[in-house]
Amino acid sequence: MSNPIVSALPQARAHSTPSLTRNARFSSTSQSVTAAVNILASTLELIISPFILSTLEGGQPVGRIKMELFADIVPKTAENFRQLCTGEYKRNGVPQGYKNCTFHRIIKDFMVQGGDFLKGDGTGSMCIYGGENFADENFTLKHSSPGLLSMANSGANTNGCQFFITCAKTDFLDNKHVVFGRLVDGLLTLRKIENVPTGPNNKPKVPVIISECGEM
């Protein structure tokens, strides 16, 4: 599957990749912090490395990230992420999910991308609904601030297991990527991840690993 081209950067060989190009072909969703306030009672709080529990960068703990999922607005997308965090989804009896998965792509002032627990390089994709991907649920929420969780994709209706966390307002991704959650704690941890040195294709020079993940 072809990968989106990141403006002013080498082509990213990732199944799911948000693009810096403002006329990118990807879907994006955005959510406002105001909207989130009204749905706290129906959201889930997870704890995972970098983006929840403690992430490891070069063997050193980076911190924890807590997030809530907008399950009342994008229930299917939120549930896919939740089950991959808890490991309750299984294939052939084997738990599938983000534990020990890496953030394979980091672009400062843009986003950090992870979730490819199949191949680890951005080319893997699967979902809890069978097959590799599922359709865009809606684009109600917008990429209006840092700390938003959104689905990475390789075009319309290609959501799988990969996701990214915004490091800034990225409204050019609206209506191209589905926003499904936000950080409620751990912005400093996100900034630490964002500043990890990178090499070709925005790959971190030291591993940034989700050492633990789950539901609180």
Answer yes or no: 113 catalytic.
Answer: yes
Catalytically annotated residue among 31, 83, 96, 113: 113
Catalytic residue among 26, 51, 110, 163, which? 110
Taking a C-beta distance cutoff of 8 angstroms, is the pair 213, 46 a contact?
yes
Buried b (16+ CB within 10 A) or exposed e, 77-88: bbbbbbbbbbee
Distance (Å, whole) CA 27 – CA 175: 5
- Is 104 marked active-site? no
- Residue 204 β-bridge partners: 198
Single-letter code of the amino acid located at 212: E
**Which residue among 153, 162, 201, 202 is the active-site one?**
153
Q: Checking phi first, is residue 192 left (phi over 0); if not, alpha (psi -120 to 50) or beta?
A: alpha
The active-site residue out of 15, 105, 143, 182 is 105
H/E run at residue 114: strand 111-114
Residue 164 a catalytic site member: yes
Is residue 11 part of the annotated active site? The answer reads no
Torsion-angle region of residue 154: left (phi > 0), alpha (psi -120 to 50) or beta?
alpha
Has 153 been annotated as catalytic?
Answer: yes
The active-site residue, picked from 15, 64, 82, 177, is 177
Question: Which residue among 20, 69, 84, 173 is the active-site one?
Answer: 173
| Beta bridge pairs of residue 44 | 69
| 110 is a catalytic site residue | yes
Residues catalogued as catalytic: 105, 110, 113, 153, 164, 173, 177
